[in-house]
Amino acid sequence: MFDLLSGLDAWVLVSLVLALAFVLFFEFINGFHDTANAVATVIYTNAMPAHLAVILSGIFNFLGVLLGGVGVAYAIVHLLPVELLINVNTGHGLAMVFSLLTAAIAWNLGTWYFGIPASSSHTLIGSILGVGLANALISEISLADGVNWQKAIDIGISLVLSPMAGFAVAALLLLGLRWWLPVSKMHNTPESRKEIKGKKHPPFWNRLVLVLSAMAVSFVHGSNDGQKGIGLIMLVLIGIVPGLFVLDLNSTTYQIERTRDATLHLSQFYERNQATLGDYLALGKSNDTDLPELFRCEPKQTEMTIAALLADLKNVTDYNALDAEKRIEVRRYLLCLDDTAKKVGKLEGLSAREKADLNKLRKDLTATTEYAPFWVIFAVALALGIGTMVGWKRVVLTVGEKIGKQGMTYAQGMAAQITAACAIGMANVFSLPVSTTHVLSSGVAGTMVANKSGLQGGTVRTILLAWVLTLPTTVCLAAGLFWLATRFVG
pLDDT at position 108: 81
pLDDT at position 155: 76
Percent of the chain at pLDDT exceeding 70? 86
Residue 313 has pLDDT above 70, yes or no: yes
Which pLDDT band holds residue 404 (cuts at 50, 70, 90)? very low
Give the model confidence (pLDDT) of 433-489 as tens digits: 887 777 887 888 888 888 877 666 666 677 777 777 888 889 999 999 988 888 776
Helices 302-313 and 253-272 pack at an angle, to 10 degrees, of: 150
Say which range, 17-21, 66-70, 109-113, 479-483, has the weakest mean pLDDT.
109-113
pLDDT at position 116: 67
Residue 401 has pLDDT above 60, yes or no: no
> How much is the pTM?
0.84
Say which range, 180-189, 326-335, 338-347, has the weakest mean pLDDT.
180-189
Q: Look at 291 and 212; give whichever has higher pLDDT.
A: 212
pLDDT at position 290: 59
pLDDT at position 444: 83
Average pLDDT on 231-245 reads 85
Q: Look at 159 and 250; give whichever has higher pLDDT.
A: 250
Residue 127 has pLDDT above 60, yes or no: yes
